[in-house]
Amino acid sequence: MGEKVFNLAVNMGPYHAALCLQRALRACGRPVAEDGILGPVTMGAARAVGDPIALLTALRSEAAGYYRLLAALGPARGDPDAVYFLSGWLNRAYQ
């Protein structure tokens, strides 16, 4: 799990990667504060998840959602090429 979060942090930044993990934990029944901080509470909740495959699946889904939003808002944020990168971003999310 740590490898996947690190991979996402390299691409989307540590704040957004931590948010994706926290939202994935919530989806797996381990609600934690969505503060974008990968601290001891978030780490403990990740270790306590009974089904790590479910957590990885939820994390992938959260990352894909982040990338889709980034692509959709790209032109409004001055990045008209964001849609061009969406396919690669989704590949990264689902790896």
**Which parts of the chain register pLDDT below 50?**
none
Q: What is the pLDDT of residues 40-57, one digit of tens each?
A: 999 999 999 999 999 999
- 10 Å Cβ neighbour count for 5? 21
Residue-level pLDDT at 81: 82
Q: From residue 31, give the alpha-carbon distance in Å to each of 6, 9, 37.
A: 21, 21, 14
CA 32 to chain centre: 14
Give the closest residue to 63 by CA, choosing from 30, 94, 33, 28.
94
Give pTM, 2 decimals: 0.92
Q: What residue spans define the domains of the chain?
A: 2-94
